[in-house]
Structure formats: structure tokens, C-alpha cells
Structure 1
């Protein structure tokens, strides 16, 4: 996972009815199935391209909408909050300072056993997703002895002789036919087979994604896990061969030979996010190297009599396709090609366009590219933003009938993933590793319901986040599920420019909306809404259990200027609370008119700024005019 913009800069990690109909229609088409199954007896039909559409054996359109299971078969540091380590090999290097190589390998076996299981896949299916993209590292297709040779470089990465020795060893194994020679014994094959089986049991397709290619497809170690930048494109062995490219071709030959008749696999994603292939890095300015390599890979797969959909990823983190369009590729068979985009931190408006028609991460360019070249397009990654951005992105894609795959299923202590993993300490300590192995298990993860809602519900959807009753106390952070303008309004709720690093949620806690939420010791729930600016508002679906007049108390921290908050029930004003300036937490109160029994929408409106809001408490007014239940 990485950047989507045309400017190839280093990655900075950031913390409608029609749409719903399109989402469920795509799923329904998959669930209807076909009489053509895979060689393994599952009922999923083989997919193919028909002009700009992806269709099944009967020609019925199938729109794939799913989730990436990143961070599993390739660790990306930010997912585990090991950002200073920057890549998987550096995590391994740190582990080797305190354990043997056998102990490190045992830890990784346990990690891979726990991080994604059938329970995770079953959960994705229950949310309505119909595919999984499986990012993996090439080293999982090495034997233990071959991977041990790579570990020697990890132990001493600044020693060029060690890297040269590893490359020459790979070269010898390549010439002797010892790479990927017994697929059934390789860890990577076992994981693919397991995921395919789990997904097919749920009528879900799998996309195979070579996320970390031999040598590395770019400059970013977090994605590539490479020792030297761009070695896939530059590193030659003693015979003068671009040996990492030869190895990548052989890997896809072996995968194609094994899975060519397996309809449960939707498509092959040949190389994840090639990037920084440019003149500044000693390569061409127009993707010549990438075009030539894709031709090799596609021809190699087709030579195995494999007609799976093949997905290309453009330069610039998967988006720029100069010299990669079907007319430019030197391939014999131009059928069943799919073009990818990775969408992060960009506008979701249908009129936003890039002047380069081959830069396709914007919705308008993506649809125009599909229509111009009559090829399917698919968003292999999208996410890493607020729920508001998620919802706008997938609803915009759904409106164009373009499939997508969200990034990422799990993250440590983050609201942006579908599942939140509890903090575990340090991966470099025994206690931290033990906690990590526990915390990543599905049963121990917290479901971020707001993320699921953003991805699967229409633009006007609103629902209770939790059950709220009057009389009672309402945590300010338990406002309704839904988009900005429907469930809440915040003055900055989505990042649409990758250069703008303003947080959508100042505080980054509890939920992933534009609402600013901090941890707070002043509030029993542990969280408070913060930076409440004029014009912002929150809605709460409440059930008034007992009709009557109430005292409404608001627990808050004032700002440096006078504040003012008003309450409405449905469309009726309940009153306004004026807040004197200050720094200390205080409680302000107002008396409401009579509230009718039943379910209603309570709206809190910010008329003048307040620093933090912890809770709202409603207590019935007694006959003498005082409130009870304080």
C-alpha cells in the first residue's frame, strides 16, 4: 500500500441509494454463481474481460468489491506501529539481536498463523464483500535454506559483498532449476491455498498480489522490503542478467502452472505499486522498463495456457500508464487485461481530472481510460483516510460500476482499519511479541463499525452508534453512524490532497470520522469530542422512555472565548446553553420543554466554540421544578 498521486514523493503515513444497489448487485451476481466451476469443485465461475466489463462464464457482469489482507504475508511497519523500523527486513534485523534465526522463524510462523485466519475471511463475507486481495512477499516462495541465505544479508545489510553473494546464489539456484521447484512444499503456496479455500467457502474471489517482488519494485522499503532501491530494474548478476526480473518471471510461471484452471482466483496482480521509475533514478522517463517487463510476465503466464485476468499496475504507486496501454504492450495475447488504480488522499468529485489521461487515480480519468481502451479497471487499494472520504470514494466508484478493494483489514491501535488491534508494546521484546500474537487474532480485535458503515451503506444512511435512552447519560462521542452532513458536520472531515497533512480527527481516538476526538481522563468513557467550531453539529438517535420535561446537563471544557451550544429534538428547539470562557471543565444546564416518548433525533449544534464536550445528561424535572437523578 502506498501513494496514489502523480508526484512520486516518499510516503507519509496518515493517521446514495444507487450506490447501495450497485454494491449489493455486484455481490448478488457473484452469489448467483454459474455452472462452470473450478478444478477444485467450487462453484465460483472463472472471470474474464468483455470489453470494459469483468464477466463470468455466462457473460454476467461481476463487480469485485473487497478487502486487502495486508500486513500479514508482508509486514508493513505502520500497520504494526513499528514505524522507526521501516520495513520487514529491519524488523527481522532487530529481532536477530536478541534471538536466534530459528527462534525468529518460529515467531514469524506463529505470526502468520494468527494474523489472518478463516474467522477473518468469514467476517469479511458477512459484511457483504465478495473478494480478498492477498498481498505476499516473494521470500515465502523460497525454501527455508534459500530464505536463510537472504537472512545473511539482513544481518549485515551495509556489506555489499553479502548482497552480491546472495544475488549470485539466487542466480545459481535459478540456473539449476532449484527456485520454486517443489511448489507444494513452499509456505507461500500453502497460504494461497488456504485463503482460496476459505474465500471460496464464502463465495468470495481471491486476487493474488506480489506485493514485495524480488529486488523491490521501487524505492520505498516499507512496501518493497528491498535492500537497495529499484534493484528489480537495475541489479545484474555475474552473467549480466537482470536476475531479479528472471526470478519474478519464473515465480509467475510456477503460479500460473499451478492455478491456471482455478476459477476461485479472480486475477493476478503481477507487481504491486512500481514507483520512482524515472530519469532521476537512471531509468527511462516513459515506463519503457516497466512496459518491457510486463510483456515478459504476461507472455510467460499465457505460455502456461493460463487465461486468468491479469492486472497491471502503473508507475507512480500503481497509477500512471504511459507506454502501458494495450496498444503499446509487446504481447501476443491482449485479452483479459485489467488496469489498476490506487486511490489515496485525492478528490472524489466526478469533475476532478488529471491532464494526463494515463494518470488514472481520479474518478473521471479512471472511467475515461476504461472507455477509451475498452478494458476493465479496478481499484486495488483505497483507504487510509476518514470515513467521510471512504464513503465518498466507494460511492463514486459504485456509481461508475468500478470495483474496489479497501486497504487494510487490520491495524494496531487505529480506527482506519476494519479491525482494530490492541497495542502490544514492542515487537522487540518477548512480552511485546506474545501480546502481539494474542492481539492480532480475530476474536481479540475490535470491529470498527463506523468503517464498515462507510464502505457498505448509501450516502443518506444514518443509524445509532449505540442505544441511547432519555433519561440517562449520552457520551458525546457516541453520535450516530453516517456521513458528514447526515450524522454530523465537521469543518474538516476528509483529506483530498496528499500534501495536506491536517488530521481529519484531531486526537485520532475512538472513531474515524471527521469529528475530533481525544482521550480524556475527565470523562467516564475515556473520550471527548474536541475543537467544537461554530457551525459543527452532532446527531444522536435517542429513545425517550418517559415523556416530560428534563434538565439537560452538558459536561464540557470551555474555550478562550464565550461558547454557546444549542439542542434540538427533531426540528424543535430545546434550548441554548451559554458557556463562559475558561480552562477548567464545567457543567452547564438548561431545562427542556416536554419531550414526547419514542425514538427521536437529538441534534447538538455549536453556535460559538467550545474546547471539549464529554457528555450530555438528561434527568426528569420534578414537580417542584428541580431535577432528579443528578
Structure 2
């Protein structure tokens, strides 16, 4: 998966989220603890367990762990894992680099992370991994040498060819890192009754042109590279790797599916390949036949061309396989509409909800969204609701990211991975105990479309931060002119400040405040924010509002439980960036819990906070 990143430090969220977490299992209709694991199989268009009961897999990817993608670590300029390693090797020996990666993998995902996923009510984990974890130390050293210089790649390929002929690839399943990590995840997940999807995320040679996903040295080498004997050696290795994985896990019910190749992409005429997925169809046929030859009945998940979505010549009738049972088809849904009527004219392009369901029904095969996310909470809610309505499972990308608002867990910024201080901080910050849950993302993925709950405990008298509006989707907790990205070509940020929360509300760091705080900006007439507040003492109040003036006069208003409360006029700025604190009197406020709505009638530049004080008291205003 390739995505964008955000920056700036985030403050700790101030309230607990236990109520939302307790509701998650109710909304999904299952609890991870209660679900008993048995072998999954395809029954027509459904995935079912051994008793024939439908199982809908909903879970999380643990990306960035067994394959680093640069944006997850905010190392975008380095672009992929091997270039990160290449940068490290400029200042350290290879053994020291390998030791860093040993510690990184030991810290990034642990049982505590898996426990946390289960507690939210999810029932599966997709495990993306790099093929190089199944190499011996000596074989990985050879790959490191190829990484240091393009002229070494041919030599590496010939070494792979020799090891392949001598049956020295992927054979030491008791000592190779890849098998050990899979075994650990299976054990952690089994303790929580979670299924695991094994995902070959970086295949030998690389399955596309995007090295951030493939970690490849040469684009499309999986498809094009030949060894001295003329063999497609990387494809031969991929088949052998899945043979070894199948031999080890074929009787393991904890494994839901084998995801044979992640996101093949740009297999097209422009890159010297066929226009109709012939190469991909041939390799899938080889892989399926190899796994079935092990007497392995696991579900086999296919991913189409075009980042996992286009299935020309990949439908069951087109594959050169004897056993067509237990196939499942994948979609990766990013930055696309969630309306059920929106369709693609190509019936084999299945990332849109309409095409996905139609493909399932046409071919009577289970479908599953192996990756989705990288958008606003508003998009998440719409996507989840649309998929759940069709009983189509999904897996969010991804569990944790550095300073990432769209992940389940947010990793604190650490500096540079190319410095000793940065690496030490990264190893600390990625640990589960040091990560911060993105409660708004959790709510978006686990709650119904009508869900609304306090983001923070707000009371009157007291100060209400503008950015602490309620949890909930657009038109429930807030209204903003742009709240989700539904066109991959449109790079307009949904949160134009990129801070604090992942909604359509535009939040910035408040540089006018001496304390760590945020302000809501990029305001437009008609936008609004809703707050659940508790009025502790009935009475009249003085309302102060801290705002940055605009170039024209502004007008803000407050409603209480749907009734007009007060209007707050704001004069235009005399100087650029001018902040002011304005005060007005409120009518009588009854005690108890209420819904307070802040409406932008005529926009100001930014709003920092609202402060309610009992009438007759005064304060210094402040920043």
C-alpha cells in the first residue's frame, strides 16, 4: 500500500474511550473472544466455517513491520526499505544494521498489539511480509550486496539460481525469521480467536513498479527476469516459497487464507507485458496448483492487476487449474466513491461496491477487501457501512503509523532513522505502550452511521476547545464543505491543517497560544460543530470566544438543543493574523447534559476556544 503522511506533534487525547470500545463488538455482531476458529472454506459466494456458518472477516493489517513502507515511518525521501538500509550502511557496518532490524521487528508488533486489535471487536489480522525474511543470513547478505550497487543484481540472481537448484532456499523452517514471525503471530492471534491472513507483500523480484510496496531493485523483475538458464527465477522462487509455507501451515486452521501476491500493478503493454494479465494468470495457476499439490485446502486469495483490483483472465474459468474450489477474490479500496450505485464499466475492475458485489454474485466466489483506509473518518464510516450491508469483509490499512491520523495507533515522531538518536527513539516509540489510540478512527470503523459521543468531557462553567467537538461522522457531529476524498486524483486534504483528528474539520496547531493547543480554521459559511456539554449550574453566563479575525466581519452563533442561544459578531482584522477575545452574555442555561452547536454564519479565520463563566465573574481572557 502506498499513501500519504502527516506531520507535527500531537497532544494526548484527554478522555477515555471505554464506552466506544464496549460497543464495538455489538455493532459488528460478534466478539473475537467468542468466535471459535475452524478451517474456512468457500461455499458459493460465502466464506464459511466447518459447520457451514458464514464468517465475515473484519480486521487490521500490520503493515510497516515485516516490510517497511517509507511513508509509514515518514521516511518518504528514502522511498523503500532497501534504500533505508542503504542509507544506514553509509554510517554503520552491516551487522549493526541487521541488529537494528532485529530490535525493530521485536518492538513494532507484539502480543499487546494483537490483544488491542481483538479488544476492539475485530476477528482477523492480515500479515504482510517480505520474502527476504525467509532467506538465511548468508543469503540476505548477498541481497544486501545487490542493494549497494545495481551492478551486483545480476550476481545476486545467479546466486539465487544456484541455491534454487541445490534446494537451499526457504528450507530451514526452524531458524528462518519469516517462519518464526508467522508462528508468533499465529500464537498471539489464537489466544484472541483471531484468524490470520498470510500476505506475500514483497514477492521475489517485485510484482510491480512501486518499490515502496515491492522493495524491488528493478521494476517488474518478478515477471521479466531470467537466469542464465532462461528460467523466470523469481517466479520459480515464489512458487517454492508458497510450497514451503503450505507444507508448514496446511493443517493450521488459524490461517484463514493465503494472499498469494500483494498488489500486482502496471503489468501492461507500456511496460512490455500483455494487455490482459496473461503473465499474472499463468503465475497464479502455477501457485494454486503448487499449493493444492500439498493437499492444502486453505482459501487462496487472488489479487488483480492495478493494485489488486482488475481481474481480466483471472476469473475461475480462465485459470489453468484443476481444482477451482476455495478461491477468493480481493479488492483494495482507496480514494473511491462509497455509493452503492456507482459502477465501473469494466466488470472485472472490482474496487467499487457495485462491481465488487456483482463480481461475487456472477462468479459465486467470496470477495474480501484486503486493504482499505488512508482517508477521513467520514469515508471510513461510509465504506464500512457499505461493505457491512453486503456482508463483505474488510481489513483496514494499517495498525500503526508514525504521526498517523488514519491508523488505529499513532506512533510519536522520532527524528531521523539515519541517526543513532532517531533509531533509538523509533525503537521506543513503536512499542504498543508508547502508542496513542486514534479514538476517532476506532469509532468510525466500529460504530453505526448515527453514532455520536463526547470526544472530551466538556462542562459549563469551563473552557471548550473548538477542536474537541463530538465523535461522529459528517452531518452528525459536524458539517464541513470537504470531508472525504473520493477521487484518487484529487489531493485536497480533508483536514487542511492536518492536525489532531481525522475528520473533515480543518485543525491547525494554535501558534497564538503559549500552551499546546489547536484551532479550527479554513471556515466557510454554513459549517458547524457539535459538542455534548454538561451545564453544572443553571443560570446566565458570560461567553468568551478566542478567534482569529478575518479580512471581512465574521458572525458566529450558538444553539443549545436546537434553539438559538446567542450570536457573536466579530469585527474584521486591522492587521494580518490578528487574534481577539470577544465576550457576550447568554440567556439562562438549564442544568444537565445538552447539545451545543457552533454555527459559522460568516467565517472568521480561526476559532481556538469558547469559555463560559457565571455572569458577574470576570477573567483575564487569555490565549
Q: Is the 8 A contact 2:31 2:122 kept in 1?
A: no
Equivalent residue of 1:542, what SS? strand
Check 1:577–1:513 CA distance in 2 against 1; reply closer, same or farther (3 A cut). same
Equivalent position of 2:408 in the other structure: 418
Q: Is the 8 A contact 1:48 1:54 kept in 2?
A: yes
2:501 equivalent to 1:507: no
Shift of 1:231: 0.1
Q: How does 1:597-608 map to 2 (within 5 A)?
A: 597-608=591-602
- Which residue, 295, 311, 317 being the options, matches 1:305? 295
Moved over 3 A (4+): 11-15, 20-27, 29-33, 626-630
Q: How does 1:163-242 map to 2 (within 5 A)?
A: 163-242=153-232
Equivalent position of 2:540 in the other structure: 549
TM-score (norm 1): 0.94
Equivalent position of 1:444 in the other structure: 434
Equivalent position of 1:70 in the other structure: 63
- Which residue, 358, 364, 367 being the options, matches 1:374? 364
Q: Is the 8 A contact 1:209 1:271 kept in 2?
A: yes
Q: Is the 8 A contact 1:114 1:440 kept in 2?
A: yes
2:58 equivalent to 1:81: no
Please list the CA deviations of residues 229-276 of structure 1 after superposition, one character each: whole Å capped at 9, or x if unmatched: 000000000000000000000000000000001000100000000000
- Which residue, 477, 489, 503 being the options, matches 1:487? 477
Equivalent position of 2:326 in the other structure: 336
2:394 equivalent to 1:404: yes
Shift of 1:525: 4.0
Q: How does 1:267-286 map to 2 (within 5 A)?
A: 267-286=257-276
2:452 equivalent to 1:462: yes
Q: Distance in 2 between matches of 1:516 and 1:378?
A: 33
Shift of 1:587: 0.9
Shift of 1:28: 2.4
Equivalent position of 2:581 in the other structure: 587
Q: Is the 8 A contact 1:22 1:401 kept in 2?
A: no
Check 1:21–1:528 CA distance in 2 against 1; reply closer, same or farther (3 A cut). closer
Q: Is the 8 A contact 2:535 2:594 kept in 1?
A: yes
Shift of 1:134: 0.2
Q: Distance in 2 between matches of 1:239 and 1:154?
A: 23
Check 1:296–1:376 CA distance in 2 against 1; reply closer, same or farther (3 A cut). same
Shift of 1:590: 1.7
Question: CA RMSD, aligned part only?
Answer: 1.6
- Which residue, 377, 380, 397 being the options, matches 1:387? 377
Unpaired runs of at least 5, structure 2: 8-21
Q: Distance in 2 between matches of 1:298 and 1:25?
A: 36
Equivalent position of 2:111 in the other structure: 118
Q: Distance in 1 between matches of 2:478 and 2:338?
A: 19
Q: Is the 8 A contact 1:563 1:609 kept in 2?
A: yes
Q: Distance in 2 between matches of 1:206 and 1:342?
A: 18
Equivalent position of 1:134 in the other structure: 127
Equivalent residue of 2:546, what SS? strand
Check 1:71–1:283 CA distance in 2 against 1; reply closer, same or farther (3 A cut). same
Q: Is the 8 A contact 2:47 2:54 kept in 1?
A: yes
Q: Distance in 2 between matches of 1:431 and 1:447?
A: 25
Q: Distance in 2 between matches of 1:55 and 1:603?
A: 46
Shift of 1:573: 1.2
Check 1:70–1:461 CA distance in 2 against 1; reply closer, same or farther (3 A cut). same
2:97 equivalent to 1:104: yes
Please list the CA deviations of residues 557-604 of structure 1 after superposition, one character each: whole Å capped at 9, or x if unmatched: 011111110001111211111111113110112211111111111100
Equivalent residue of 2:239, what SS? helix
- Which residue, 454, 460, 476 being the options, matches 2:466? 476
Equivalent position of 1:39 in the other structure: none
Shift of 1:21: 10
Shift of 1:154: 1.2
Equivalent position of 2:606 in the other structure: 612
Unpaired runs of at least 5, structure 1: 3-10, 34-42
Equivalent position of 2:556 in the other structure: 565
Q: Is the 8 A contact 2:242 2:291 kept in 1?
A: yes
Q: 22-31 or 221-230: which moved more?
A: 22-31
Q: Distance in 1 between matches of 2:586 and 2:32?
A: 52
Q: Is the 8 A contact 1:211 1:272 kept in 2?
A: yes
Equivalent position of 2:12 in the other structure: none
Shift of 1:25: 7.4
Equivalent residue of 2:522, what SS? strand
Shift of 1:526: 2.0
Q: Is the 8 A contact 2:24 2:120 kept in 1?
A: no
Give the number of aligned pairs: 603
Equivalent residue of 1:58, what SS? coil
Check 1:49–1:24 CA distance in 2 against 1; reply closer, same or farther (3 A cut). farther
